[in-house]
Amino acid sequence: MVSGATLGIAELTFCKRRSRARQRSDMQEQPVFQVEIAKDSGRVNHAANRESKWRSIYCGLFSLVVLAGCNPFPETWQWNQKLTIEISTPQGIARGSAVAHVSWQAANAAGNYPSSYSGEATVVEVLPNRYLFALLGEETKYIALRTFAKEIGGVSVSPTGFAAVSQVHGIRNVPPQHYPLLVTFTDISDPKTVQKVDPNNLAAAFGPGVTLKRITLEITDDSVTAGKIVALLGWLNDPAVMENPGWSSLPIDSRGAIGALLSHYPDLRGSRK
């Protein structure tokens, strides 16, 4: 299980994405006449200085790269991974999957491996209108290395490990100690009702006869999942929820969970009145 600190980290990351998205939105929504005035006022000077400016930029960037010992085109390893949850219920097996993209780069000057992920949480309808979510997070980037440790010769956060995972085939059970954080909303229409779910005791959240059968992972050519979470949780597109003062009024657990449902911030421009 992931500690409660994970939700706080997810909220901080999500807030940064919210801020960047809002800034982009504000820039895109500038009145046209302001943009045209800016273009007209700077056209002559821009044309006269374009060559010297670009020469200075290129030289500056080249100097930074040389001084930092960085590779501007680092070797990259990437793959799509499908996480599937299977749950036993009194009505039978409930199943849900989602595909995320993971990318790792060669070590930088500091000896770190830059990495990223994109996608959305895995969701499964356990019972009518009752859903279980497997959240995204730092574990998303490592789960393949850990799940396929046997196939790649041991867990290895290194170029050898990245390259080996990208070539793996087949489906494997995710080790229980590396399960993603599981949550549910007792009321799917209310983001305040988020609740952590114990993978060893789904009955506590969903009732008698509900158990987690397994969580599997597969390296796949399938496209990254998009749109499921937003379609299910309509309030993700509601500025009254996703922007202040509504956002700051949510419980911290709700904000943390919401921040780990998606790797990106929802586009709210079409939802603002």
Looking at residue 178, what DSSP letter applies?
G
Examine residue 273 and state whether it is found in any structural domain, yes or no. Answer: no
**Which of 39, 73, 107 corresponds to the end of one domain?**
73
Examine residue 18 and state whether it is found in any structural domain, yes or no. Answer: yes
Q: Are residues 141 and 231 in the same domain?
A: yes
According to the model, what pLDDT value does residue 74 have? 82
Number of compact structural domains in the chain: 2
If the chain, 273 residues long, is cut into consecutive pieces of 10 residues, what is the mean pLDDT of each piece?
51 58 49 41 48 63 53 87 98 98 94 96 97 97 96 89 94 97 97 97 98 98 96 95 95 95 79 55
Q: What is the pTM for the complete model shown?
A: 0.75
* Sheet of 115-118, strands arranged across: 115-118, 92-105, 76-89, 211-220, 171-173
According to the model, what pLDDT value does residue 265 have? 81
Examine residue 253 and state whether it is found in any structural domain, yes or no. Answer: yes
Which phi and psi angles does 242 have, rounded to 5°?
-90, -10
Per the structure, the complete domain to which residue 65 belongs is given by 31-73
**Which of 49, 73, 97 corresponds to the end of one domain?**
73
Single-letter amino acid code for the residue at 143:
I
Examine residue 164 and state whether it is found in any structural domain, yes or no. Answer: yes
